[in-house]
């Protein structure tokens, strides 16, 4: 069950073992489907052409899943699926005191002719993977960078039920 508070926009999902906090100005998604367990969108910032969005996907994995192998396997279809896909960076990091990877890449959104910047944070904890994906246009991404950094820093793994 999700609980979102109105003031600080914190979404707690005890069933899937995480908590994520969005800036007050962001809109938290109500209708979640499949493995998407949280989502939010930033409002249009002054001078931007597109909104920024974030999704949290939770999936069951084998107990001894190796994080780097999971990331590599998950990224395979991107080069085949998206127009002008360009991997920029893949770095090891920490989120909620857990090992994580941040993968940055660019791609073209065919329908609206935009160059998007995507950053995916991957974590594996126990028998679950957590994928936190941020998307904005390449030119607008810096305008949302502070919010995105805050969201990542406040992401917490909880004891899953």
Q: Classify residue 114: in a domain, yes or no.
A: yes
Strand pairing report for 36-41 and 27-28: antiparallel
Q: Classify residue 21: in a domain, yes or no.
A: no
Range of the domain at 123: 34-143
Q: Classify residue 65: in a domain, yes or no.
A: yes
Do the Cβ atoms of 131 and 74 come closer than 8 Å? yes
Q: Classify residue 14: in a domain, yes or no.
A: no
Q: Classify residue 57: in a domain, yes or no.
A: yes
Q: What is the CATH number of the domain that holds 39?
A: 3.40.1000.10
Q: Classify residue 80: in a domain, yes or no.
A: yes
pLDDT per 10-residue tile (average), the chain, 161 residues: 56 93 91 90 83 93 92 88 88 94 90 85 94 93 91 88 51
> Rounded to an integer, what distance in angstroms lies between the CA atom of residue 25 and that of residue 153?
17
Q: Classify residue 3: in a domain, yes or no.
A: no
Instruction: Count Cβ atoms within 10 A of the Cβ of residue 114 and give its class: 0-12 exposed, 13-18 middle, 19 or more buried.
Output: middle
Q: Classify residue 49: in a domain, yes or no.
A: yes
Q: What is the pTM of this model?
A: 0.90
Domain count, the chain: 1
Note the pLDDT of residue 112. 67
Note the pLDDT of residue 3. 43
């Amino acid at each position: 069950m999700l609980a979102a508070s109105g003031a600080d926009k914190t979404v707690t999902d005890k069933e899937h073992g995480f908590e994520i906090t969005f800036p007050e100005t962001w809109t938290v998604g109500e209708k979640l489907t499949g493995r998407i367990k949280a989502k939010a969108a930033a409002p249009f910032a002054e001078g931007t052409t597109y909104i920024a969005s974030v999704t949290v996907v939770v999936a069951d994995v084998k107990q001894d899943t190796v994080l780097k192998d999971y990331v590599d396997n998950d990224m395979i279809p991107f080069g085949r699926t998206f127009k002008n896909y360009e991997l920029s960076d893949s770095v090891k990091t920490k989120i909620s005191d857990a090992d994580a990877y941040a993968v940055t890449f660019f791609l073209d959104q065919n329908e609206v002719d935009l160059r998007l910047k995507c950053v995916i944070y991957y974590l594996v904890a126990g028998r679950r993977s957590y994928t936190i994906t941020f998307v904005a246009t390449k030119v607008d991404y810096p305008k949302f960078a502070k919010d995105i950094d805050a969201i990542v820093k406040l992401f917490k793994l909880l004891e899953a039920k």
